[in-house]
Structures are given as structure tokens and as C-alpha cells.
Amino acid sequence: EDQVTQSPEALRLQEGESSSLNCSYTVSGLRGLFWYRQDPGKGPEFLFTLYSAGEEKEKERLKATLTKKESFLHITAPKPEDSATYLCACERGTYKYIFGTGTRLKVLA
Amino acid sequence: EAGVAQSPRYKIIEKRQSVAFWCNPISGHATLYWYQQILGQGPKLLIQFQNNGVVDDSQLPKDRFSAERLKGVDSTLKIQPAKLEDSAVYLCASVGTGDTDEKLFFGSGTQLSVL
């Protein structure tokens, strides 16, 4: 059965304290792995798509990486405005997505 | 470009009542999804449409949930009768055919509370 697991469930960081979020997956026929950011009361907002092992993408303080079994979202020197829930999703067929449960990140000033 | 529109933003109902949600996807997006997101969990697919046809409704509780996408544009999701466990945020999303990232665009959701 296809499965996407995120860890940790919640993470509290001090401003400037770098860390990584994990997304482990067992998905047959992976077409792409997506990272989304979700703020309270809003829908998820797209961050990155990764397609093959070894691929990396960066945006401001965020960097996403992909291996054959997992993806990491690295947050460098986070700021309070980075506080949000980060969701990982796998595309297992054209336009068919399965989501993880998310990591709730809180960055303290 | 305009985003995915959803209404209402909030709804409070008693159990056994009925409720309907509306979604208007991004113009030109053929594929539309309804997701259920329970507090602290990731979005769970309820139904996927391609134009006005159903692609996947395997996780839709068909005894109480129904959805339609007439004319292949906007969509409605209905719950009748509602149960306490239906309390969740209902998210609508769409994706554009041929988009290089194949990323989902989400609306802000409807937060449903069943009392």
C-alpha cells in the first residue's frame, strides 16, 4: 500500500536554529514529490516539486532534497514567519496525489 | 490569475443536517479535487474529477457524500446526513493540464463543525 510518512509531527525552533523535516515514502511508480506550506485557515501553497533521486531545489531559506526513499526539507536560519505546517505529497500516477500528515513548525523569536 | 474560490468559509450544523460546499477552480483547469482535512492530519482525497467525469471516488463515503461538476467547471460537494466525525476542513484544488510542475492549487477551504 502506498504510504507517505512525515516526521517529526511538530518542531519548535529558535530563530536562526537550522533543522530538517523528513518525508519518507513507499509509493509505486513515483512521478514526483511535492512540498507545500499551509498557514492556519488557508489551503496548502506549493513550494517545490522533485522528480528524481539526487535532485535539489532551493527557495530563500528552504532547500528540498530527494532520495529513492525519502525527501528532506532543510530550513536554514529560520525566522518566525517560517512558522507553518509543511506537507509532503507524492504523485503516484498522473494527477494522483497522496499526502503525508504534515510537520507543524514553530519558530520562536 | 484568480485562484481557486470556495464558499462558504465556515459552516456550523447539527448532526443529521445537510450541508453543501461550492468550488470554482482556476480557469482552464480540467482536473478538480475535493479533499477532507481533519485537524492535525494531511488532506485526504474524497473525489477527483476530470472535466465533468469522475476519475476517483474510491474514498468518498457514498452513503452520505455526493459531488458533482456540471459543465466541467465549478463543483459542489454535499453531505447528507452529517455526522460528528465529518467535522473537518474541506479543501478544493485544481491542476492545469500541461503545467510543468503538475502542482495543485488549493482554495482556502470550508471549515465544517458538526455539533
Task: Find all residues with CB under 8 Å of B58, minimum gap 6, and list them.
Answer: none
What pLDDT does B72 receive? 85
Q: Give pLDDT tens digits for A88-99.
A: 999 988 889 999
The phi, psi pair for B5, rounded to 5°, reads -100, 135
* Residue A82, SS3 per DSSP: helix
- For residue B47, the distance in angstroms to the closest alpha carbon of chain A comes to 11
The whole-number pLDDT of residue B52 equals 87
B44 touches chain A (CB under 8 A): yes
Q: What is residue A52's DSSP assignment?
A: S
- A102 in Cβ contact with A31 (< 8 Å): no
What pLDDT digit, counting tens, does each position of B5-16 carry? Answer: 999 999 999 999
Amino acid present at B64? R
Vertex A40 angle, CA B111 and A15, to 5°? 170
Average pLDDT over residues A61-78: 97
pLDDT of res. B41: 93
CA distance B26 to A84: 24
Helix%, strand%, coil% for chain B, nearest 5: 5, 50, 45
- Residue A67 burial (CB count, 10 A): 12
> Which one, of A36, A6, A48, lies nearest residue A23 by Cα?
A6
- Taking only the tens place, the pLDDT of each residue in A10-20 is 999 999 999 99
A72 CA: distance to closest CA in chain B (Å): 17
